[in-house]
Amino acid sequence: MGVRKYKPTSAGRRQSSVNDFSELTDKRRKPTKSLLEPIKKTGGRNHHGKITSWWRGGGHKRMYRVIDFKRRKDDIRATVVAVEYDPNRSCHIALIEYADGVKNYILAPSGLKAGDWVESGQKVEPKVGNAMPLKSIPVGMDVHNVEMTAGQGGKLVRAAGGSARLVAREGDWATLLLPSGEMRQVRVECRATLGQLGNVDHQNVRIGKAGRKRHLGRRPHNRGTSMNPIAHPLGGGEGRSGGGRHPCSPWGKLAKGGRTRARRKNSNKRILRRRRSVRYGQVSLPKK
């Protein structure tokens, strides 16, 4: 796994780099058709046609790879057929085939390659790629694709290079240290997959030019200070100005330091330590 740099034949090439895809089994391999679904693009608009998520639109056409986040086919070994690229997520995916002929896609952990086998169940061998409940996983191991509700499917730690650590287990609850630094409790019946997710160098890839962002479906993101005062609170002024106030949205809501998480989430009470937040240059730990 690594990052490859282009020859500096232009300004965009000089600044950009790409993944070398050395973890993939075959770069020219086509995805399994039975596990593909079409994606309808919205351009960030809801069913009324109103933009609810800005700066989205265009991009290359994609097909969705159906991922098995639940891993409920217990006590049947599956052979890894190939590790493939997925345009819909930062980590790679692995195509596995069970002994009864069923094929599925799973998130590919680091070190998993074609020819290996994986398994899921209540008490399987604690090796990379195997899925089991948190009550069966040895304390101190790294996990990913963690469920928040048993049987719901993995919700936590699904990005490239991500891993959570099982730091403690007491009664019906297991304590996890998440990549963000947050420490939270999850029921021991919830399943997780062992190992760290692959494509670790994803964070080191440099986009390099605006065109690559457009290929990813991201439209230009205008600064508030470059707008007219009627369009944004930070707009206007002679020449390039600093805005004259703290960063905010077009409607005046402060953009930095405020919490965006709902206060009345049921899972809030299971957070033992929140991830660190920055409020105008001062680092503070939010209250539990």
Per residue in 189-241, pLDDT tens? Answer: 999 999 999 999 999 999 999 999 999 999 999 999 999 999 999 999 999 99
pLDDT digits (tens, 9 = 90+) for 109-134: 999 999 999 999 998 999 999 999 99
How far is residue 131's CA from residue 120's CA, in Å, rounded to a whole number? 5
| Nearest by Cα to 45 from 225, 260, 219 | 219
Q: Is the confidence at residue 287, as pLDDT, over 80? A: no
Averaged confidence pLDDT in the chain: 92
- Using CB atoms within 10 A of its CB, is residue 239 exposed (0-12), middle (13-18) or buried (19+)? exposed
Pair 225, 241: CB distance under 8 Å: yes
Structure confidence at residue 277 (pLDDT): 55
Q: Is the confidence at residue 282, as pLDDT, over 60? A: no
How far is residue 154's CA from residue 65's CA, in Å, rounded to a whole number? 16
pLDDT digits (tens, 9 = 90+) for 41-59: 999 999 999 999 999 999 9
Pair 235, 226: CB distance under 8 Å: yes
pLDDT, mean of residues 63-68: 97
Structure confidence at residue 1 (pLDDT): 61
Element (H, E) at 215: helix 210-215
Domains and CATH numbers, the chain: 3-202 (2.40.50.140)
